Amino acid sequence: MAKDFRQQLKIEPRDEAAAEQARQHIDQLTKPLGSLGRLEALAVELAAITGQAFPEVAPPGVIVFAADHGVAAEGVSAYPQEVTVQMVANMANGGAGINVFSRQIGAIQQIVDVGVAREVDAPGVKNRRIRAGSGNLLREPAMTREEAVRAVETGIESAVEIIEKGAKLLIVGEVGIGNTTPSSAVLAALTGADPDEIVGRGSGLTDEGLRQKKEVVRKALALHRPDPNQPLDVLASVGGLEIGAMAGAMLGAASRRIPVLLDGFIAGVAALLAVRLMPNASHYLIAGHRSQEPGHLHVLKVLGKEPLLDLRLRLGEGTGAALAYPLVEAAARMVREMATFASAGVSNK
């Protein structure tokens, strides 16, 4: 990959001709006009994304990026940092929530270590470690700009790999203790949002822990003063390796006209980063669900996306998107498999 991936990737705008063809076909299906509501709009959106009036989204691909965060030392998580490597091993053994839901939807699964603090000794985990955890953003930059670029490039490459294995839709998840803190910092840096309004409890902080976490984000932003017009520098100063990789995976999928079904808060922040890097990426994003993290609603508003589900989830890993996937597949199947009035011999109004 060349030094600037943005010069190598081409992300096309929506295919409006395919969208219109899908819209006209949907209006001929054996149902009252508009009676399948948002499912019809979703099918048209899939046509615009894929460039196919009769889109296919099966099988989905699920990539989970894993990394640690130096800021975990500041007490911003309810869990100790060693849980990251333990959870990656659990995922490798198929025991995590995302494994269960991935199996349910027949997904191609991939786990990628981009920066876990300890080396992961588990079968099936791709070693793409850029460094052993990010720096403590309260006291130093999370990573160098070069490492930020490598994180994004690793995500692009991972997306291309899973697409070449047959994935027709991409779900991007994450695992990493403390990662809602850099996500909050990236969101505040890119949008100017007040940390008091967007920082949440993450994995279950107490009131005192939440107050500390907000203060950490506020101080980190004051220390680094990241420029919102330089998204790579925002990632480098206050972000996380898996956040960069997630953004890269979304860009890689968009460059192949593959829909990206977004998970919760961290995935939403990664999506915002991807859109700030390459604005056309926005056309390829579908919001799977709304997380309980307060910052997620802010992200969705900035992205202009309406979530398909609201189940009060806050696990991450890609679980919310995996649960929303059957709705996306239903939209695609509706276009491809429902009869029209003419083909079924049913009288239209």
Query: Which positions are annotated as active-site residues?
Result: 317
Q: Is 206 left (phi over 0), alpha (psi -120 to 50) or beta?
A: beta
Per-residue b or e along 235-257, where b marks 16 or more CB atoms closer than 10 Å to that residue's CB: bbbbbbbbbbbbbbbbbbbbbbb
DSSP 241-272: HHHHHHHHHHHHHHHTT--EEE-SHHHHHHHH
DSSP 155-208: HHHHHHHHHHTT-SEEEEEEE-TTTHHHHHHHHHHHH---HHHH---TTT--HH
Q: Which two tokens stand for residue 256?
A: 């192949």
Neighbouring CB atoms inside 10 A of 121's CB total 10
Q: Give the Cα separation of 336 and 316 in Å (integer).
A: 31
